Amino acid sequence: MARTFNVVTYGCQMNAHDSERIAGLLEAAGYRAAPDPDAADVVVFNTCAVRENADNRLYGNLGHLRPAKLARPGMQIAVGGCLAQKDRGEIIERAPWVDVVFGTHNIGSLPALLERARHNEQAQAEILESLEVFPSTLPARRESAYSGWVSISVGCNNTCTFCIVPSLRGREKDRRPGDVLAEVRALAAEGVLEVTLLGQNVNSYGVEFGDRYAFGKLLRACGGIEGLERVRFTSPHPKDFTDDVIDAMAQTPNVCHQLHMPLQSGSDAVLRAMRRSYRRERYLGILEKVRAAMPDAAVTTDIIVGFPGETEADFEQTLDLVRAARFAGAFTFQYSKRPGTPASTMDGQVPKEVVQQRYDRLVALLEEVTLEQNQRLVGQRVEVLVAVGEGRKDASTGRLSGRARDGRLVHFTGADRPGIRPGDIVETVVTYAAPHHLTADGSPLSHRRTRAGDAHEAGHTPRTPGVFLGMPAVK
């Protein structure tokens, strides 16, 4: 019988998409997916190293699997991703029951490493220092029938003092536009309605082939792909944000009026210490242009509290910018040291209790701001792409969930429309707003069945063999 596998993913969208590639590789090698890590023949941990507790989560889960591994000698455990790139041989030292460790640059080696570990009855670790094959040339087992990730670049050329990603993912490597568009077309041809273009810094796309306007052109090109209804992207960097991208967002009908642009801090002094090469006025200036072109745009962000040297005055400037920016949502983080980053050895480390108190104040303000922004949508019609795993499905109210075009989470009443499936499109009216979601309690105004909904109902998701046009993926 075919050996089974399960992939456990930590971290960002890049990791989620890498896990789709890992699953695709294993299926292509003859493995089949299993829903439960404890019962799988191969368990792969695709790790993140951004947060301080990433190590604890990994080793805790490895410890949980140790009894299963002892009871089933043929079981294999593999660890990949950013934490594997960072810790390398330390993982096998701390958890000697791990069979394979592989890095961010050699995902494609996993099937061979698993086979070698079985044959040699010895743990295998392979960590490359630079990208061997662009991950998007590898096969993928997609998680969704209606929404897909598409990488346009990997790595990062920035040197933010709090971030360990550049040392783990390497310098930015861009895919050629033809490769990206071929993958998007292939997904749309299978019924996928929505794609999200991924990169550590999407709006610096084109640096390798000398076209600083390449990202805006890519957005416009996505507008011509038949069947593609929604295009999103994450994440842009304020220093590289150009007016042509705003124009492309506003003028391309299927590009969603949603912008996730990390702020990190509202204090120029802290931004300077973070080595973020923009200042608060630059950030607010971009938002002003975005809203002038797209008044309905929903803007979300990332904010770090308690960066070394942050004073109460610095933090107040962050709160002030949050009020001015009118964010629709934010991912908030308490600063945590990451070994190997300049910030970890900076003077002025903020006491934990101060960080917690500031964090609580920031979250409270964001709740006020996001609620106010969401309340403006009460009474308005919204188009919702029905999703699975996007919050609650309440049996008592018959509510389903999905995402509006601007990315907001919408819970809507679907009990009187029993044929609504994930991947379908409904139009409904917002009746209630909360800080993190909208509710539409009336009957949907319309329901459109889609090919994506058919595929989800049948249990089919795209299995892409990898998109490669015969030219170097990285040039």
Lowest-confidence pick of 77-86, 129-138, 410-419: 129-138
pLDDT in tens, 253-308: 999 999 999 999 999 999 999 999 999 999 999 999 999 999 999 999 999 999 99
Integer Rg of the chain from CA? 23
pLDDT score for 52: 66
pTM: 0.88
- The matching CATH number, chosen from 3.90.79.10, 3.80.30.20, 1.10.10.10, 3.60.9.10, for 135-375 is 3.80.30.20
Q: Which residues contact 83 (CB under 8 A, 6 or more apart)?
A: 10, 47, 48, 49, 54, 55, 58, 91
Quickly state the pLDDT bin for 37 (edges 50, 70, 90). Answer: confident
**Helix (H/G/I), strand (E/B), else coil: 259:** strand
Alpha carbons 398 and 269: distance in angstroms, whole number: 50
pLDDT in tens, 426-438: 999 999 999 999 9
pLDDT in tens, 142-178: 889 999 999 999 888 999 999 888 878 888 999 999 9
Displacement of CA 274 from its chain's centroid (Å): 22
Quickly state the pLDDT bin for 472 (edges 50, 70, 90). Answer: very low
Lowest-confidence pick of 121-130, 175-184, 246-255: 121-130
Mean pLDDT of 396-424: 87
Which helix (DSSP H) or strand (DSSP E) does residue 69 occupy?
helix 54-71
Helices (H), 190-327: 214-222, 243-251, 268-274, 280-293, 312-325
For residue 213, give the amino acid letter: Y
The position carrying tokens 């909904």 is: 453
Position with higher pLDDT, 252 vs 169: 252
Domain 381-458 of CATH type 3.40.50: no
Percentage of the chain lying above the pLDDT 70 cut: 94
Lowest-confidence pick of 42-51, 73-82, 135-144, 465-474: 465-474
Quickly state the pLDDT bin for 475 (edges 50, 70, 90). Answer: very low
* Cis, bond preceding 130 (omega within 30 deg of 0): no
Mean pLDDT of 309-326: 98
Position with higher pLDDT, 384 vs 53: 384
Q: Which residues contact 458 (CB under 8 A, 6 or more apart)?
A: none
Architecture field, domain 4-132: 3-Layer(aba) Sandwich (3.40)
Summary mean pLDDT of the chain:
90
Domain spans in the chain, listed from the N-terminal domain onward = 4-132, 135-375, 381-458
